[in-house]
Structure 1
Amino acid sequence: MRKLLLLLLAILIAGSMWLLLAQNPVSSSTSIQAKIADVKDYKYYLDKGNAAIGKDMTKLDLVIVEPIEMQQKYIDSAQKSGTLVYGYINAMEADKWNKALYHQLNEEDFYRNKQGEKVYFAEWDSYLMDMTSSHYQELLLTEIQKQIVQKGLDGVFLDTVGNINSYLPQDEQTWQNEAMLSFLQQIKKHNPELSVAQNWGFQTLADYTAPYVDFIMWEDFSYPVVGKDEWSLDMMQKLVHIRDEFGTQVMAISFEDETKSRVLAEKFDFKFFYSPAGSYYNTWQ
């Protein structure tokens, strides 16, 4: 009789736990945030892979790749080993090399300055885009579905989000930031389990996107640049507060003075990657 009662009690407890989990499931966002928080070694690489690179990817905690370039077999192999793989998507710029996407653009998709001119970045052969364009957002959502979701990547890495604060007049930033927020909400609506990350755009993150972003990248987190700069030091503290509130991790990339830059990053518990080639990520380092 006692054994029967214990068995019934165990069944009731198990049933209650199942019901609790069904009503309050552990979200994939929480799970992936925990994995990102534990990241020690990561890389940012935007070219094709090879056998050696593929093997190295399996040893990393996280890697950001260009999904058009990186072969699927290396992505799959890395994920099987536990590596988080994020796919690059250029959010605020359109790269002319990506012809399949570029040829779908309408004139309304390009940002135009107060003189009515497009903004061209010669260094990258790209144009500044207008995130308030619903057509442009739809193109990017389709690109994410094709290059990220269908290839089974863990997340999307949105580059050039910082262009809003860096290149747009103050009176136009609110519109673009609100559009960026709407865009991220659409990503999560269509793919709630997909992790989202962004490059730069610290104020955009603080005021708009933090609830949807699992990590933000800080490029040129180089000690000679940020080590004694008041704005940078203040921003480091702000990012720590954002991380405490939303779980958004910081991926720091240094271009020079690796040792001092790493020490500074570790002081704030930022993830660290050294890129002596600067913001050119076509060499596996």
Structure 2
Amino acid sequence: MAPLLEVNDLSIGFGNGPSVVDGVSFALNAGETLALVGESGSGKTLSCRSVLRLLPDAAQMRGGSIRFNGAEGAVNLLSLPEKKMRAIRGDRISMIFQEPMRSLSPLHRLGDQVAEVLRLHRNMGRRAAKRAVLEQFEKVGFVDPLRAWKSYPFEMSGGMRQRAMIAMAMVAKPELLIADEPTTALDVTTQAQVLGLIRSLQAETGMGVILVTHDLGVVANMAQRVVVMNKGRVMERGDAQDVLGSPAHPYTAKLFAAAPM
């Protein structure tokens, strides 16, 4: 069976400079969690954003392909017409962004923003969408889901906004979830709750997960495979147990020694 996602020889640059993502390749199977690890600026987030074609305007896609083998057939995401790409974003492929305030509208209530995913992609009526969103808000740890529904992003703490972002990404039960440092702003208890929610949704739907994280404890608990990046290149890849237990590349060993689990 073909992988759910195949990223092959991806290269991205800016202006006349060298590629900041250079020949990156990795694959993800359905139901599997792949962790992308590396220092800030290693190209992890840019690689992930390219899957949804959400790159900065100045970014140049210099080469490669991204093949998504979803339930509706195989497509090359980089050559897909924008209209079809919009139908995939937030529905079959979702992303939890590291900075939710850049993704949440300050002018609309949180509940309406999350419900819009279901109204657009599932043709749900307002009442059904509200029920589904309130249930999702409860799952991600909102003590008072109805209050969260009525709130604007600026009325919530960073951790609460992150929970809303996680709910938005997961409410449509995507085939692929890209999680960019999804638990950074959360306390330990809520972090465990959210990671457990991701695992349970994987078990229920066979969802694949790409997890961008600096937390090696999260990698050890969540990931089956690991890709280590540095300066836009893949340094090492392999089964999580093997890479964490006995890294083969000197950079990986140095990185892990500086961030013990």
Q: TM-score, normalised by structure 1?
A: 0.36
User: Hey, which of these two has a bigger chunk of strand by percent?
Assistant: 2
Q: TM-score, normalised by structure 2?
A: 0.39
Q: Which has the larger radius of gyration?
A: 1
